[in-house]
Amino acid sequence: MLPYALTIFLSAFLLFLVQPLIAKQILPWFGGSASVWNTCMLFFQSLLLAGYAYADRSVQGLSAKRQVGLHAVLLALSLLSLPIIASEAWKPQGDEDPILQILGLLLATIGLPYVLLSTTTPLIQAWYWRSFRQAVPYRLFALSNAASLAALLGYPTLIEPFFGGRETAQIWSVAYAMFALLCVWVGLKSLRQTEPSASITPSEQTGSAPQPALSVRLAWVLLSALGSATLLAVTNHLTQNISSVPFLWVMPLALYLVSFIICFDRPSWYHRGFWGSVAALSLPAMVYFADSLALFQVSGLYAAGLFVVCMFCHGELASLKPHPSRLTGFFLAMSLGGALGALSIAIAAPLLLDGYYELHLTVAGVAAMLLWRSLQAAWFWRLGSGGLLIGVLVLINQQLDDYRLGIREMERNFYGVVRTRDYPSEPGFRYMLHGAINHGGQLQGEPFEMMPATYYSPGSGYGRLFEAMPEGPKRVGLIGLGAGALAAYAKEGDQWVIYEINPAVVRLAKKEFSFLQRMKAPYEIVLGDGRLALEREAPRQYDVLAVDAFSGDSIPMHLLTKEAMAAYVKHLAPGGVIVFQATNRFVDLQPVAKRLADAFGLQAVLIEDSPDFKTGPERWYLNTDQIVMTKNKALFEHPAFKEAKQIKLRDDVGVFTDDHSNLLRILKH
């Protein structure tokens, strides 16, 4: 058992360690979007399907010697992919399809090693079954999930805080080479240990175990798909409102894996009556709080709901597992379901849905599956499951009506959902929503249209900065367009460059708001990630560079690293100013910004604006925090900055880099 178990453990550990590792490598290239992880998960699930299909066809169609020989050759070829460091040639220029770009990048960087790692669990279990005919392969499957869990929990807690991304990738590559050697040795060992009866043809080996019914095989796929879709829907909800970082990727995935471990290693712990009853409470609650921004209060609910759904799906899967001689087909069906679940969230949802409805639809799918699995149970279970499905559908309908209430325009793409909505007030007010967060707005009608409201009022950091700066033409760079409200500060003779990664934001800013049309200075829009554009461009000598890019309420952490700051400083004119938008419900950006300012010799102050107007146009001045940093110390002597606050350093928060950052340290409690 030991060599087989060790090979499976190492392969599963490497398989799940590479997921956050490679995703974090490429995250800064695609705007730090939450969809980067979803696209990566689609890739991982699809290649897992390819690996399981390979294992199934190999076991069913090749002799034992040919199985081992083919696998050894492929393992040798995969070593040519090492080390697994993404090539700079894959960096987007701004006009590519980000999903296709990410999938191509991942395929070129880790494609073959990932496929071969994914084959290990079903293939090694099949080799073990062929050699010993002992009904323990499913225990090996639980072991692989335990190794996966160790990798996921270890990455954000033990690896990411202490090792750089390139360093970790190199260590991973060495460990993968060791795995390849171990896998070949186990294959040769299995040939020597194969019983004489195992020399019969593959079809004869499996002939004693009847093919499971079509309904059973369909259940394998659907149950796996629902678990995978719920995982990604919950993860997407968290990352689009907090930040797309490894910790928030791996924690939901860890709960997903724990349910696999329990259900396949301790199947007696799953009882449909208990978990079905818990699901009946969890599913309506997940729908009811789906649009809540009190994420710290309801994140426990999401985590519990995800775990309950996964326990139900994986418990039902474990109860339907076939004879070990059919295990490769079982794993193939599960991996197909996982890929379909990832496909539905990463690709189908952005293409087919104009809003964030996938969590609602996934919950409805789980309720329908619970009813299906209860059809053979007692009448009260059938009645209860049917009532649950009807209740969930009614609640979803109410939620979606509220989501679309008063919406003028709505667009969805890789970077999220952007909506515009009118608020009935005097004067009228139109604002842009990215996710559930206000991304600026405009008062309607003369003389209010060019009045800088929301986060850009005269008392905000931006308002005070433009008041304090000397008269004369200015060069202004803006990362993150939103509704375009900051353009209200443009004056004749200025030159503005606006960096915006989301083309939907640009379209709606021009169509629904008039800031850009009415601004007094010419402007240029650079489509693509602002940091990447600044890295490519020659120095522009900006007098003001505003970093105001959010996705929902999520912080693109790649805009807050030492490497990003170097790009900003490169483009500053002497005495130029950098402004960070620090308004956020969940993340405290002040200590991060202070460390960056100190690292580059800039003085930084915090402007807190808490206007309290109840009526009139000023009611749309919103609470905001902005950090202003510059080497021009005389700027802060202007009366506009008399209320500026100094930012205190925190010993537990260092300089964030692309390799090292710690979201947990800066979460607000």
pLDDT in tens, 122-141: 888 888 877 766 555 566 66
* Pairwise CA distance, residues 299 & 251, whole Å: 11
Nearest to 454 by CA among 524, 526, 548, 542: 548
Provide the pLDDT for residue 515.
Answer: 96
416 phi and psi angles, rounded to 5 deg? 125, -170
In this structure, what token pair is assigned to residue 323? 């004879």
pLDDT in tens, 424-434: 888 899 999 98
* Pairwise CA distance, residues 463 & 638, whole Å: 13
Three-state SS for 35? Answer: helix
Provide the pLDDT for residue 578.
Answer: 97
Question: Does the pLDDT at position 342 exceed 90?
Answer: yes
374 phi and psi angles, rounded to 5 deg? -100, 0
More confident site: 486 or 378: 486
CB 436, CB 522: distance < 8 Å: no
pLDDT in tens, 177-201: 999 999 999 999 888 865 544 444 4
Provide the pLDDT for residue 196.
Answer: 47
Q: Is the dihedral of CA 143, 144, 145, 147 positive or negative?
A: positive
* Bridge partners, residue 423, by sequence: 429
Provide the pLDDT for residue 613.
Answer: 84
Bond prior to 574 in cis (omega within 30° of 0): no
CB 594, CB 562: distance < 8 Å: no
Provide the pLDDT for residue 664.
Answer: 74
In this structure, what token pair is assigned to residue 547? 């970093």
Q: Tell me the residue length of the chain.
A: 669
Provide the pLDDT for residue 198.
Answer: 43
Task: Indicate the pLDDT class of residue 513, thresholds 50, 70 and 90.
Answer: very high
In this structure, what token pair is assigned to residue 500? 């915006």
CB 328, CB 356: distance < 8 Å: no
CA distances from 302 to 36, 49, 503, 609, 621 (A): 21, 27, 31, 33, 33
Cα dihedral 115→117→122→123 (10° resolution): 90
Question: Does the pLDDT at position 505 exceed 90?
Answer: yes
CB 243, CB 554: distance < 8 Å: yes
DSSP state of 631: S
Burial of 456-479, coded b for 16+ CB within 10 Å and e otherwise, reads: bbbbbbbbbbbebbeeeebbbbbb
| Residue 294: Cβ-neighbour burial (10 angstroms; 0-12, 13-18, 19+) | exposed
Q: What is the mean pLDDT of residues 500-521?
A: 95
Provide the pLDDT for residue 71.
Answer: 95
Proportion of the chain above pLDDT 90, given as a percent:
61
Residue 642 neighbours by CB distance under 10 Å = 9
CB 204, CB 143: distance < 8 Å: no
Provide the pLDDT for residue 211.
Answer: 84
Three-state SS for 666? Answer: helix
More confident site: 145 or 285: 285
Question: Does the pLDDT at position 502 exceed 80?
Answer: yes
Nearest to 520 by CA among 543, 474, 488: 488
Q: What is the mean pLDDT of residues 486-495?
A: 96
Question: Does the pLDDT at position 480 exceed 90?
Answer: yes
∠ CA(610), CA(611), CA(612), 5° rounding?
Answer: 115
CB 109, CB 81: distance < 8 Å: yes
Burial of 229-268, coded b for 16+ CB within 10 Å and e otherwise, reads: bbbbbbbbbbbbbbbbbbbbbbbbbbbbbbbbbbbbbeee
Task: Indicate the pLDDT class of residue 205, thresholds 50, 70 and 90.
Answer: very low
CB 297, CB 238: distance < 8 Å: no
Q: What is the mean pLDDT of residues 438-452?
A: 90
Those residues whose C-beta lies under 8 Å from the C-beta of residue 565, and which sit 6 or more positions away, are 596, 599, 600
Sheet of 429-434: strand order equals 407-413, 416-423, 429-434, 437-443
Nearest to 414 by CA among 531, 505, 536, 509: 505
Proportion of the chain above pLDDT 70, given as a percent:
94
Residue 172: CA count within 13 A, CB half-sphere: 31
Three-state SS for 552? Answer: coil
More confident site: 300 or 418: 418
Q: What is the mean pLDDT of residues 571-593?
A: 92
pLDDT in tens, 356-414: 899 999 999 999 999 999 988 888 889 999 999 999 999 999 999 988 888 999 999 98
Question: Does the pLDDT at position 244 exceed 50?
Answer: yes
* Pairwise CA distance, residues 421 & 404, whole Å: 9
Provide the pLDDT for residue 306.
Answer: 95
Provide the pLDDT for residue 295.
Answer: 66
Provide the pLDDT for residue 300.
Answer: 86
For the chain, give percent helix, strand, coil, nearest 5.
60, 10, 25
In this structure, what token pair is assigned to residue 274? 């208990």
Write down the mean pLDDT value for the chain: 89
CB 420, CB 408: distance < 8 Å: yes
Provide the pLDDT for residue 645.
Answer: 93
Q: What is the mean pLDDT of residues 586-611?
A: 93
The beta-carbon contacts of 606-609 under 8 Å, at least 24 apart in sequence, are: 606/582, 606/644, 606/645, 606/646, 606/647, 607/460, 607/461, 607/464, 607/641, 607/643, 607/644, 607/645, 608/643, 608/645, 609/457, 609/459, 609/460, 609/461, 609/463
Q: Which residue's entry shows tokens 């995250």?
A: 27
Task: Indicate the pLDDT class of residue 206, thresholds 50, 70 and 90.
Answer: very low
* Pairwise CA distance, residues 150 & 159, whole Å: 12
Question: Does the pLDDT at position 204 exceed 90?
Answer: no
* Pairwise CA distance, residues 314 & 255, whole Å: 12
Question: Does the pLDDT at position 620 exceed 70?
Answer: yes
More confident site: 286 or 328: 286
* Pairwise CA distance, residues 151 & 159, whole Å: 9
| Residue 424: Cβ-neighbour burial (10 angstroms; 0-12, 13-18, 19+) | exposed
Question: Does the pLDDT at position 336 exceed 70?
Answer: yes
